[in-house]
Amino acid sequence: MLELRLKDGNSVAFDYGWLRKVEFNPSEGITLHFGGTDTVRITGRNLNRPNAQLLRGIHAHRVPWIQEASEPDILKAADDATVIEQIVFPTASR
């Protein structure tokens, strides 16, 4: 399962077995397509950074969770850090 942790404390987990497509666009972020119509958009900075390997980890089903950063955490994170600014998914997925 891939758990998506929101900054408000809520979380949702999706079965990696239902992950059918992963799209990466540096200006839009990572879009995960699960099952029929469930999509998850992950936005932030340095999402495909060579040393962090978030995208590669998702491809290999090795990322157990992704956490949205709070505003203070975003502001104090190093410029080269991978930072998840927002996770957006349909209400039906929650």
Structure token digits, residue 27? 């200006």
Q: If 0-12 CB within 10 Å is exposed, 13-18 middle and 19+ buried, where does residue 32 land?
A: buried
**pTM score of the predicted model:** 0.89
14 sits in the region (left: phi over 0; alpha: psi -120 to 50; else beta) called beta
Q: pLDDT confidence of 61, banded at 50, 70, 90?
A: very high
Q: At 76, which helix (H) or strand (E)?
A: helix 71-76
> How high is the pLDDT of residue 35?
86
pLDDT tens figures, 22-35: 999 999 999 999 98
Distance CA 37, CA 79 (A): 34
